[in-house]
Amino acid sequence: MNKILTLLLLLAFSAGIAVAQEEPIPPKRSRAVKVGLFGGYTPGWLFVDVKPVNEFLLGGKGAALQESGVFMTGGAGAIYIMFLPNVRVGGMGMTGSIKSTSLDLAGIRRDAEYHVGFGGVTIEYVWPVMEHLDIALGTSLGGGGADLTLRQSNGGTNTWTSEQAILGDWNAGTAGNVTRVLSGAFFVAVPSLYVEYALLGWLGLRLGASYVAMIVPSWEVDGNYDLLGVPSGVSGRGFMLQAGVLVGTF
C-alpha cells in the first residue's frame, strides 16, 4: 500500500512539473479585470454651431468664421479603481479656436477669434473585447466657456500719450485699436464612447466620439461687466470626434 501511494505521489508531482513548464513565465495577463493608469494627448474636432456668431459678425462689418468645426487640443488621464471592476476615474481638458479677419475700403481691420475650452472629472466603464482591444463608455462633468474676442484697428501709430487721450475721452470710432472680449462660462457635460487599442504594454491608441453639452451660461464683457441678450445658440456645444495617444499600463 505504501509503495502504491508513493508511486501515485511521484506521478502527481511529475504531472505538476509538466503543466508548470507549459505555462508562460510570467503568466499571460488576463483581460477580465482592468488595472493600471494612463495619460496622454487627446486631440479632437468639435462641430460647434457658429451661425449665430457669424450673424453677429457680419452685422458689425466683420468676416464670418469657418463653419466646418474647431480643432481641439488637450489631454486626458485616468486610473482604475479596484473596488469597482473595470471602472476608471480621471480628468480631461480641451481647447481650440477659429479666427476671421476683414479689411474695408477705409483701411479699418476687424479681427474676431472664437475660443472654446472645457475640462472636468471623468468616470468611465471599460469592456475588454479581446486582448489589447477595449471599449469605454463614460462621461466628463466640469466647466468651460466660449469667448468671442473682437479687435478693430485703423492702422495708426500707437503712443503712450495717445492711449492716455483715449482713456480720458473715449470714442470707439477714433481710437486706434479697440478690443472687446465677450466671455461665457458654462456647466459642461461630455458623454463619450471610445475604442482603445494597446499597441504595447505601455502605449495605446484611442478613437472616439463625444457630445459636448454646455448649459447654464453666464456672460460678461471684458471679465467685469454683465452681458445680456446673448442668443442661446452661442456656446461651445456640439458633436466631437476624438483621437488619442496614451502612455501608461494597458
pLDDT digits (tens, 9 = 90+) for 203-217: 999 999 999 999 999
> Three cell numbers at 64?
464670418
As a whole number of Å, the CA-based R_g of the chain is 29
Confidence of residue 161 (pLDDT cuts 50, 70, 90): confident
Distance in angstroms (rounded) separating the CA atoms of residues 5 and 13: 12
Asked if pLDDT for residue 22 goes beyond 50, the answer is no
In the predicted model, is pLDDT for residue 152 greater than 50?
yes
Query: Is it the case that residue 32 has pLDDT exceeding 50?
Result: yes
* Pairwise CA distance, residues 130 & 147, whole Å: 43
CA distance 33 to 82: 9
pLDDT tens per residue across span 91-136: 999 999 999 999 988 888 999 999 999 999 999 999 999 989 999 9
Structure confidence at residue 139 (pLDDT): 98
Task: Return the amino acid letter for 70.
Answer: V
Percent of the chain predicted with pLDDT > 90: 69
- Across 158-170, average pLDDT: 77
Residue 159 pLDDT:
80
- Please tell me what DSSP assigns to residue 68: S
pLDDT at res. 168: 81
Q: Which residues pair with 117 in a beta bridge?
A: 95, 145
CATH fold group of domain 33-248: Porin (2.40.160)
The answer to whether 232 and 213 have CB atoms below 8 angstroms apart is no
Nearest CA-CA partner of 247 in 207, 206, 208, 209: 206
With cut-offs at 50, 70 and 90, classify the pLDDT of residue 181: very high
| Rounded average pLDDT over 177-205 | 95
Closest CA to 85 of 114, 118, 126: 126
Choose among 104, 99, 109, 105: nearest CA to 64.
Answer: 99
**Secondary structure element (H or E) that encloses residue 102, with its range:** strand 87-103
pLDDT score, position 5: 37
Does residue 238 carry a pLDDT above 90?
Answer: yes
Q: Which pTM value belongs to this model?
A: 0.81
Could you tell me the pLDDT band of residue 7, with boundaries at 50, 70 and 90? very low
Look at residue 10 in the predicted model and tell me its pLDDT.
40
**28-47: average pLDDT:** 83
